[in-house]
Amino acid sequence: MSAARVAGTALDWRAEDLWLDLRERVEGISIEVLPEVGSTSTALMDRIRRGDRAPALLVAERQVAGRGRLGRPWSAAQGASLTFSVGLTMVPADWSGLSLAVGLALAEALHPRIGLKWPNDLWLRDADRKLGGILIETLGVGPDEAGRPVVIGIGLNIAAEPPQADAAGATPVYGSGYAGLAELIPGITAPEALHRIAGPLWRALQAYERDGLAPLLAAWSARDVLAGRPVQAGAAQGIAEGVATDGSLRIRTADGARATVHSGEVSVRPQGPQGPRGPQGPHGSAASAEADR
């Protein structure tokens, strides 16, 4: 189906306008907005398993069974966040940097103060609060001539949750609360955010399929919130030194060696008694979606 469909939603999504903007660039695309769904990514993956590989964009005003990394549950309240997934077939030379390309496209389309946390989170710069996340799932064991189906789930907070105060009631607890787009763009709504990012996202996906990650490294590094900071990724601990051309994270360990991390979760290491305590964002917010790579 190549069309736009909205079913009983409370917000004005202007889905027909969005479809008209995208249809020439993305042949056969369908856009659907639902008032509630378990998981937009699960819904699109189910379609793919039934044989429907047409490009699709599915939005839910309320998501009640969303999934983050490692199967963590998360949900989204109506209007407080933007939750959607895109499904398409791709034949990139390398899949490993796809979440970085998606994150960069979102950040560039939204605001200069949005930073990127490897491999799949959006943060509010200089505040260390999570703004959004990305979940990438593919079907099959590898690309073939016909392409490999992929579903990209995106959750962006619209409303923010302020950081919690410490026990004395004076200092915000590092890593508590989460950022919202309304802090950066007052009055923005979930439909407005979608219209800002949908076109740039599809262009980024097409460019990544053609050119890979290398042309994006400088722009991604300029928004890298981990660079130069002490981090831990699994057993690897040290100072983050940016990303490589294959999308892996480079960490300089205490003995001067370089560890290369290809997937997993990264936390900022404490720097002192009052220092960071591992910002992961609250599970259950739109910001807890993470790439499954």
Q: Which domains does the chain have, with CATH numbers?
A: 4-223+276-288 (3.30.930.10), 230-268 (2.30.30)
> How far, CA to CA in Å, does 82 sit from each of 49, 182, 183, 188?
25, 12, 15, 11
pLDDT, tens digit (0-9, with 9 covering 90-100), for 197-206: 999 999 999 9
How far is the C-alpha of 68 from the C-alpha of 99, rounded, in Å?
A: 14
Higher-confidence position of 171 and 213: 213
Structure tokens at 195: 């219209």
Does residue 28 or residue 291 have the better pLDDT?
A: 28
- How confident is the model over 138-188, as pLDDT tens digits? 987 554 567 899 999 999 999 998 777 666 666 666 666 899 999 999 999
Partnered with residue 220 across adjacent β-strands are none
Least confident of 39-53, 160-174, 229-243, 267-281: 267-281
- Percent of the chain with pLDDT strictly greater than 90: 67
* Average pLDDT of the chain to the nearest whole number: 85
Token pair of 185 as six digits: 């763009």
Query: Cα separations (Å) of 225 from 114, 185, 252, 267?
Result: 9, 21, 16, 11
The pLDDT tens digits for 83-140 are: 999 999 999 988 999 999 999 999 999 999 999 999 999 999 988 899 999 999 998 7
Tens of pLDDT, residues 56-91: 999 999 988 655 554 555 555 668 999 999 999 999
Question: What average pLDDT score do residues 233-245 get?
Answer: 93
Question: What's the rounded Cα separation, in Å, for the pair 136 and 152?
Answer: 5
| pTM score, whole prediction | 0.86
**Which DSSP category does 256 fall into?**
S
On the question of pLDDT at 283 being above 90, the answer is no
φ and ψ of 152, to 5 deg: -115, 110
**By the 8 A CB rule, do 30 and 55 touch?**
yes
**pLDDT higher than 60, residue 272:** no
Do 108 and 200 touch, CB atoms closer than 8 A?
yes
Given this model, what pLDDT does residue 278 score? Answer: 32
Higher model confidence: residue 16 or residue 70?
16
* Residues with a known catalytic role: 69, 130, 269
> What residues contact residue 208 under an 8 Å CB cut-off, 6+ apart?
92, 97, 98, 101, 216
pLDDT value of residue 52: 94
